[in-house]
Amino acid sequence: MPRVAVLLAAGAGTRFAGPEHKLLALIGGQPVWQLALEHAKDAGFDHVIVVTGALHLPLPPGVIERRNPVWAQGQATSLAAGVEAARALGATTVTVGLADQPFIPSSAWRAVTDAPPDCPIVIASYDGEVGPNPVRLHESVWPLLPTTGDEGARSLILNHPEWVFRVACLGSVADIDTLEDLGRWKSC
C-alpha cells in the first residue's frame, strides 16, 4: 500500500491580519506552507498531496495538488478532498497535517505513519500534550469524518478514544494563525 501524506492548505486564513495570506508569511526566509511541506516530503511518503483552495501555491515537482473548489465551506471539505485523492492512489491510510504548522518535523510525520497498522486513528503528542497533528486515519474511519464545517477528525478523536493511539513526538504543534503567532516564532 502506498504511504500518503495530505497537507491541508486551502483556508482563507482570516484571523491573520498581515499584508499577505498567513501561509505566505516568512519564517527564517521561507513561507510557512513551504516549511510544513518540506517536513512532510522529508518523511519518506510515496505521495504527498497538498489540498489548496483560497490560495495558489507554487508546489514543487512531485507534489500532487488537489484543488478544493468548496474550501470556503470549511476544513471538513478539504480533508474529504485529500482523503479522496489518497483513495484514488490506492492508500488504505492517510497521514494528515496542516500547512500552518511549520514546526512539526519529519520525524513526527514518520512516527505517526509508522504506528501499529491496526489502529484506526493515530495522533501525535508533544511533551505529553495531544497535538493531534499529524493524524493518521485508517480507511475504516473515512466514512465517519465530518463533511461540513471547520472540523477534521476532532470529533472522532473525542468521541472514540478507544480508536486512538498516541505517539510521542518531537517538535511543536504551534500554528501560525495571527500576526502575534508569527511574531512569537520570529523572535525565537
Residues 151-187: pLDDT tens digits? 889 889 999 999 999 999 999 887 777 677 677 666 5
pLDDT tens sequence across 39-53: 999 999 999 999 999
Closest CA to 47 of 117, 9, 94: 94
Please indicate, yes or no, whether the overall pTM of this predicted structure exceeds 0.85.
Answer: yes
Question: Domain of 88: which CATH number?
Answer: 3.90.550.10
- 105 by Cβ neighbours in 10 Å (0-12 / 13-18 / 19+) ranks as middle
Per-residue model confidence as pLDDT tens for the chain (188 residues): 899 999 999 987 767 767 787 888 899 899 999 999 999 999 999 999 999 999 999 999 999 999 999 999 999 999 999 999 999 999 999 999 999 999 999 999 999 999 998 899 999 999 888 888 999 999 999 999 998 888 889 889 999 999 999 999 999 887 777 677 677 666 54
pLDDT score for 25: 85
pLDDT for residue 40: 98
What is the pLDDT at residue 180?
76
Q: Give the pLDDT score at 160.
A: 94
DSSP string for residues in the chain: ---EEEEEE-S--TT--SSS-GGG-EETTEEHHHHHHHHHHTTT-SEEEEEESSS---PPTTPEEEE-TTGGG-HHHHHHHHHHHHHHTT-SEEEEEETT-TT--HHHHHHHHTS-TT-SEEEEEETTEEEEEEEEEETTTGGGS-SSSS-SSHHHHHH-GGGEEEEEESS------SHHHHHHHHT-
Query: Range of 64's domain?
Result: 4-186
Round to whole Å and give the CA distance between 36 and 89: 22
What per-residue confidence (pLDDT) applies to 132?
A: 82
pLDDT of residue 185: 62
Number of domains in the chain: 1
